[in-house]
Amino acid sequence: MNVENISPEHIPPVRRVRTSTLSARTRKGISFIIAFCICLATWIVLSGRFDALHLTLGVLASGVVALGAGTILISWRGLGRLPRQWLGFIGYIPWLLYQIFLANLHVLYLAFHPRMIELISPEIIHFKSRLKRPMSLFIFANSITLTPGTITVFVSITGEFAVHAIDEPSAASLPGKMEEKVARLMGE
């Protein structure tokens, strides 16, 4: 990636952090509590024991993790739009699963086709995405890789994608509807 290629409009806008009335201490506390609850829930699901010893160990372990990494796991900047994002995610995942299923059938058909070698024409396609935020690019890139027929080769922070596609129908589907969905999900 050439640094000179980055023109100003490619650089994601810096979001101003809303100056909160809460003190840094309170924010840290809220981050701690959320991280602690998530850690403890994971502990309980994974351990499956409810006696005093295991629960105490779980509380201790979650406490240590939340103290050390609470502010890293739950960043205050993202907290405000987190609920909307999660709601969007719940809508996005079934659609993604359906797309994965359709595309899987396609690759399965290719794998068993007797004249498979004539049907496929692998190529690396390049396109520029209009997504700006790193998180959107990350979700979009992983969604591309999850849908069969396409694997992300390279993503730049400015939204340039290189994608390896197995055949022409897979290549033609990009960036298309998936990009729109991710954009709406992340509120871009």
Give the residues lining the site for another protein (CB under 8 A).
Answer: 45-46, 48, 97, 100-101, 103-104, 107-108, 110-112, 116-118, 120-126, 141-142, 145-149, 151-154, 164, 166
For residue 106, the minimal CB distance to another protein (Å) is 10
For residue 98, the minimal CB distance to another protein (Å) is 12
Whether the Cβ atoms of residue 137 and residue 129 lie closer than 8 Å to each other: yes
Nearer to another protein, 36 or 140 (CB): 140
Nearer to another protein, 32 or 174 (CB): 174
3-state secondary structure of 170: helix
For residue 30, the minimal CB distance to another protein (Å) is 25
For residue 20, the minimal CB distance to another protein (Å) is 31
Tokens of 75: 């960043």
18: region left, alpha or beta (phi > 0 left; psi from -120 to 50 alpha): beta
Nearer to another protein, 32 or 159 (CB): 159
Q: What is the DSSP string of 41-59?
A: HHHHHHH---SHHHHHHHH
Nearer to another protein, 32 or 65 (CB): 65
51-61 as b/e: b if 16+ CB within 10 A: eeeeeeebeee
